[in-house]
Amino acid sequence: MDSRRAVVVLVIAGAAYITAILQRTSLSVAGVVATDRFSVDATALSSLAVLQLLVYALLQIPVGVLVDRFGPRALIGIGAIVMASGQIVLAVAPDIGIAVLGRILVGAGDAMTFISVLRLLGHWFSPRRLPVLSQWVGTLGQSGQLLSAVPLGAVLATAGWQPAFLGLASISVVVAAAVLLAVRDAPPGAERGRAATLRIALRQLRDALRRPGTRLAFWAHAVTGSPGTVLVMLWGFPALSVGLGYGPALASALLSIVVVAGALIGPVIGLLSARFPYRRSSIVLGIVAVMGAAWAVVLLWPDRPPLAAIVVLLVVIAVGGPGSLIGFDFARTFNPGPSQGAASGFVNVGGFSISVVLLLGIGLVLDALSPGAEPAALYAWENWRPAFALQFPVIAAALIPLLIARRRTRRRLQEEEGIAVAPLWVAIVRRRRARRSRKPVR
């Protein structure tokens, strides 16, 4: 473990994940163009992203079982090929129906990537390095958003629709070749930890779902990851470029803030998770509270919010990306190695299930406010206020099962390991009293 070969595996696996994010978010910068190209409204446009994410979410548990059975290398390579096929279909699609098929293929290939990358890292690196490494890979992988926001936007504007999406397909083909040629599931002689049969893999999934820590991981991923996914997948670009009138260039630059800020904040979240393992759920709840406050300021601002408020919102949303990776850290902590693929697959369903609800709901609200309108009227800022406000009741509803799972996880931790986790405010008070008692008397 932690060898030079492991670094090579890390680089290639990271490139595979960056490519998957590039393919996943490629529709964001093309959303306004797609509205005109396929002559569709906001609800129909959202169906491209919704069905893509729905397929992604539905495949997470099966993919988790398959990665436990067949290993991560095969799934990463196959996923890249499937994503390439989807982008080729989208490039030549004559109507919205064929375009939907292309995005479904992209979602299916994307579904095979991230949890396979996490499992691969678990084979090649020691447990003490995994929390920080997972954050690095997760946050640097989001640079795929930056590639979709800037270079893809430029190619789309200059070369057109087909060359842009055929170029995306070629990138996935190159990544698939690199993975299949240069990556192995584990170091030579190491235990690969595969389930002997699919029946055993399914039993491991069942055992993982019974653990309250796995359910806590699911909801932690859901409440932190979905707001950012909604913006970078589809609705951020039209909201910024048309709704706030920033235009395509500035909108793309603003969306890149999510990537840059996430890359800077991710290692900090990883270090906090490693330093305070029993306070990870408190970190998640703090991130959700800050995101809610930032959204409230922007949506309640009289007239249009200033650029500074939008920048702050995007920085705060960026925290949700690495925050959602805490869910996978929960899955690793509360599940034995052989079932971690299935557990991670279940966790990954969380954020993307909520994202599907929000993506479709926002499209429905926009169409209800401006039925049959042209993009300029459909994407007016006044329509975005109630549309984005839909996040508040949805996230609030998801917090309820999160708190229930947290309580049950802490109870089991105390019963099985004798570790009692006091409420955060109690721990803070105790620490302050301990510090005061250590102060020298003058």
Give the type of residue at 109.
Answer: G
pLDDT at residue 259 is higher than 50: yes
Query: pLDDT category, 392, cuts 50, 70, 90?
Result: very high
**Cβ pair 12, 20 in contact under 8 A:** no
Query: pLDDT category, 243, cuts 50, 70, 90?
Result: very high
Interval 263-278: pLDDT, tens: 788 778 878 887 888 8
pLDDT above 70 coverage of the chain, percent: 91
**Cβ pair 320, 227 in contact under 8 A:** yes
Nearest Cα residue to 329 out of 159, 130, 188, 187:
130
Query: pLDDT category, 294, cuts 50, 70, 90?
Result: very high
Burial class (CB within 10 angstroms; exposed 0-12, middle 13-18, buried 19+) of 376: exposed
Computed over every residue of the chain, the mean pLDDT equals 84
**Cβ pair 37, 93 in contact under 8 A:** no
pLDDT at residue 442 is higher than 50: no
**Cβ pair 72, 17 in contact under 8 A:** no
What is each CA distance from 145 to 52, 117, 127, 279, in whole angstroms?
16, 18, 29, 30
Separation CA 10–CA 28 (nearest Å): 28
Name every residue whose Cβ is closer than 8 Å to that of residue 264 and which is 6 or more positions away in sequence.
none
Three-class SS of residue 232? helix
pLDDT above 90 coverage of the chain, percent: 33
Mean pLDDT of 397-410: 93
Residue 361: per-residue pLDDT: 92
**Cβ pair 241, 149 in contact under 8 A:** no
Mean pLDDT of 66-92: 91
Mean pLDDT of 18-24: 91
- Alpha-carbon torsion, ordered 116, 118, 119, 124, to 10 deg: 120
Q: Work out the angle at residue 334's Cα, subtended by the Cα atoms of residues 329 and 337, and round it to the nearest 5 degrees.
A: 85
Higher pLDDT, 91 or 263: 91
pLDDT at residue 78 is higher than 80: yes
Q: What are the extents of the domains in the chain? A: 4-438
Separation CA 401–CA 218 (nearest Å): 10
Residue 237: per-residue pLDDT: 87
Interval 104-115: pLDDT, tens: 999 999 999 988
Residue 190: per-residue pLDDT: 64
Quick one: three-class SS letters along 118-155?
Answer: HHHHHHHCCCCCHHHHHHHHHHHHCHHHHHHHCHHHHH
Nearest Cα residue to 107 out of 184, 49, 183, 31:
49
Residue range 4-438 forms a domain whose CATH class is mainly alpha
Residue 195: per-residue pLDDT: 55
Least confident of 21-35, 214-228, 283-297: 21-35
Residue 144: per-residue pLDDT: 81
Residue 194: per-residue pLDDT: 55
φ and ψ at residue 128, rounded to 5 degrees: -70, -25
Most confident of 68-72, 258-262, 359-363: 359-363
Mean pLDDT of 138-154: 76
